[in-house]
Amino acid sequence: MTRDPHWSDWRWQMRHRVHDEATLREYVTPTDDELAAIEATRDIFRWNITPYYASLMDPDDPDCPVRRQVVPRMSEMAPDIVGVVDPLDEVGHSPVKNLIHNYRDRVAFCVTAECAIYCRYCLRKRMVGDADFMMRKDELGEALDYLAAHPEIRDVLLTGGDPLVFNEANLSWLLERLRAIPHIEVIRLGSRLPVTLPYRITDDLCNLLRAHHPVWLNTHFNHPKELTPEAAAACAKLAEAGVPVGNQTVLMRGINDDLATMKALVEGLVAMRVWPYYLYQAQLIGGTAHFRTSIETGMALMRGLRGHTSGFAVPSYVLDTPFGKVPLTMDYVRGRAGDHVVLESTRGDLWAEPNPLGDETPPLILPEVDLPPGIATLPTGAPTFVPVAEGYTETA
């Protein structure tokens, strides 16, 4: 395929994202399942792929780990064990629109609902790609007022959506206002663009970030195929601008839940000066069952990494819950109670994560425990989908 002369212009990439069958055919031979899923999910979750990320997909293998992350599958429509759209109760923790204040001293500020691509397993399916969750300037201002009025907040994560879809002028406006709040020590960016649109990491952007230090950035590589020379160059630019880059991987069945893949990923990240920060257990979002794997599989992967590669290449394996992140180590994992894994959060709360084994043979056996009566958990057996806008209303 001949590349457009503007290929490495990030704005060109945004304007030419893949979101129809004809354009998809320029990159892959779609399966009947993929074509059916593109239609079936149209009103449920937006579909977009940057030409750069599309070019990493295997044209002939629908199980390609890049392709599976971004091309819809009919599995998204399968009945699921959960019907929630907001498993972390982010809406309940939002005192103003799109500002999640769950931890005392830090917040996640969803400054936009737009992303360059829409990952099929996204935690924020309920809002990303949905115009209702875009932030007008006055709404950003309300959130900034909240931050200014809360001196206990020292760390602000700009997320979304993806904050780096903002142009420099808008980002500069936002960073300047954040830096005018004296108690905000650290600004973090949560962005997948180093992975999905590395051309976004321009000299202008790096100069802007450099002017507002300390700025950290966490990105989201899931598979070694994503560790391209373009992505490495983007991460190097950030490092050279003094922005520490961390990575948050989501553990996904058939994508990265085997030791060879995970080891290649974390070692490749370290070679790119990116710190493998978290390995997340996939969240329980309706329509993502085909991505989920057992907690025991994740714990066994961690055993395979710890002591077998550089210590700083070993991420923390965690599950996010409405009570905050729980490290998935035996210190916090009490055991298995049938289809649930019983956990204790760092705050001392008990949480039962629905996590059926199915026909899987776990590589590590958890002790059997009883499900304590009244333990907090998510409802199971509910319908698969709640349309995005309706989901917000329902959980608000």
Distances (CA, A) of 90 to 1, 107, 123: 42, 11, 10
HEC per residue, 75-131 = HHHCCCCECCCCCCCCCCCCCECCEEEEECCEEEEECCCCCCCCCCCCCCCCCCCCH
| Minimum CB–partner distance for residue 117 and ligand SF4 (Å) | 6
Q: Which is nearer to ligand SF4, 54 or 128 (CB)?
A: 128
Rounded Cα gap, residues 319 and 328, in angstroms:
7
The token duo for 4 is 């457009």
| Minimum CB–partner distance for residue 161 and ligand SF4 (Å) | 6
| Minimum CB–partner distance for residue 133 and ligand SF4 (Å) | 11
Amino acid identity, position 342:
V
Q: Which is nearer to ligand SF4, 118 or 323 (CB)?
A: 118
What are the residues binding ligand SF4 (CB under 6 A)? Answer: 115, 118-119, 122, 124, 128, 160-162, 192
Q: Which is nearer to ligand SF4, 38 or 115 (CB)?
A: 115
Q: Which is nearer to ligand SF4, 115 or 153 (CB)?
A: 115
* 155 burial level (CB within 10 Å; 0-12, 13-18, 19+): middle
| Minimum CB–partner distance for residue 115 and ligand SF4 (Å) | 3
Cβ(249)–Cβ(220) below 8 Å: yes
69 DSSP β-pair partners: none
| Minimum CB–partner distance for residue 196 and ligand SF4 (Å) | 7
Helices 229-240 and 203-210 sit at what angle, rounded to 10 degrees? 30
Cβ(51)–Cβ(13) below 8 Å: yes
Q: Which is nearer to ligand SF4, 190 or 354 (CB)?
A: 190
User: N- to C-terminal Cα distance for the chain?
Assistant: 47
| Minimum CB–partner distance for residue 125 and ligand SF4 (Å) | 7
Q: Which is nearer to ligand SF4, 255 or 352 (CB)?
A: 255
Q: Which is nearer to ligand SF4, 50 or 345 (CB)?
A: 50
Rounded Cα gap, residues 66 and 59, in angstroms:
11
| Minimum CB–partner distance for residue 183 and ligand SF4 (Å) | 27
